[in-house]
Structure 1
Amino acid sequence: MTLTDLIDDAALFSLEHQLHLVDVLGEHDWHADLRAPRLEFIGPEKTLVCERFHLLGTAAPGPRSWLWAWANPSGFPEELTRLSAELRAHGERLGIPELTRAEIPFAELPKNPEHPVQVAFLFAEAAKALSGCWTFYTGEVSGGTRVAFLMEHPDFMLPAPEPARTMRVIQQALADLPLSNHRRALSSYAALRGFQQQTTPDGNGLILTGPGFDVRADFNDQGLITHLNLTAHPGQ
């Protein structure tokens, strides 16, 4: 198990949650009180208050490094940093050094991320795969430093899957996310989203079956998708 494996495992299910978060929040400002703790998203028509969230860490452009919340000397409440400490324990168990070291330089991360937003995203993806908490938020705090949270709220729960949304998630993931193994990422998404999945008779593809539709993906020898097709069931 590597950090790259975790990122692939989380990728599509994570993306669907982030797309849903955009739908829920719309245009907004944000404010965090880490002592309360309280995280607010302030929109033109409503304010959503999230009182259960987890501080993962910060990505800073000056030292060009990620600092885990459990190692931050600022003394944040233990309830905010507990999940990051649990990730450290997972990293020790799985042999993933990026989860066990207090501070990690950008240059040592997969895909060579250059921007703090990219780094916060990578560590949030790994955290999602291990914690089962799937909604992520990052905001700028000072001097370009990005803080990363995982959040829990009833409004962040995904609606039932439907064909167009599922295809959008898969296609956008292929276009925008730093995936290393498409087959692994798609299989993980099917398992997390509750789709049935089976290997095609020729062994070169996967068929995912959701409510009222099938998605077939064919792969090359490197595990990358070469063809993608959605079929709606009769009556859908």
Structure 2
Amino acid sequence: MRDEWEHAHTDYTMPVQRRTPASLAESESDWRHYLERSTPNGWLIRNNAMTEALVSGQPMYLLHTTRGINAIRTSRQLHVSTGCLVGALYCSPLVSQREGLRPHNLGTYLMETKPSTTPLVFEVVPDGPIRPKGVDYLHLGAIHLRTYLRYQSFLAPAENDQLGRTVLAGLRAAAPFLDVALRNAAGHATPAPEFIDQLSAAVAHVPFLGYLYFEVLSEYLMLHSDTSETKTYAQAVTVKLFETF
């Protein structure tokens, strides 16, 4: 179990040593080296505000929004959420400024679009510098499977059968796109609009493909955007590490 969790963690300040399946790169280290050295903003992978905040050992401030503020006050407990991260308390960083604490873009979005929630602010005071190691939730498959197998007996036979049929039906529906993805990995190039359309349709049947889509798109935009606005914010990350994220 510990090996499964270790595999799901990533430290972008250290060389990659974990074993990975065969892919388009010889190893994960080769792919990481390519991203860092061959893209306009690759240096942000190692040098960014979150990494610097963790290794500094200084207090960090986090924003969490909730609809259950009364239950939290009554029980004096805060429960983690389930989902693709297995179990986590979803927060966004807050930056300490002269005017007070400022949320970054995700926190601002949550505050603007979820007016019915109550914001909670946490101050996390570490004992010292923290190794900047985070969970790569795309590597949590083995843990999800083990959790399901452990608690499978809690399902009624009819529920278990229905779940199995749903999963198989989804995979069958997404099979044409999975074949396309495999051919592309082998060197066959599918026109981008056709590929994206097929991917979007397959996400409805296999939601995990949506996670991949989101992460690939986010990573590409971060690494390859070269607009003047992007360059300004990227430089702000190094000049004022604790004022942006």
Name the TM-score, length of structure 2 as normaliser: 0.22
Q: Which has the larger radius of gyration?
A: 2
Which structure shows the higher strand fraction? 1
Which one has the bigger helix percentage? 2
Higher relative contact order (CA 8 A, sep 6+): 2
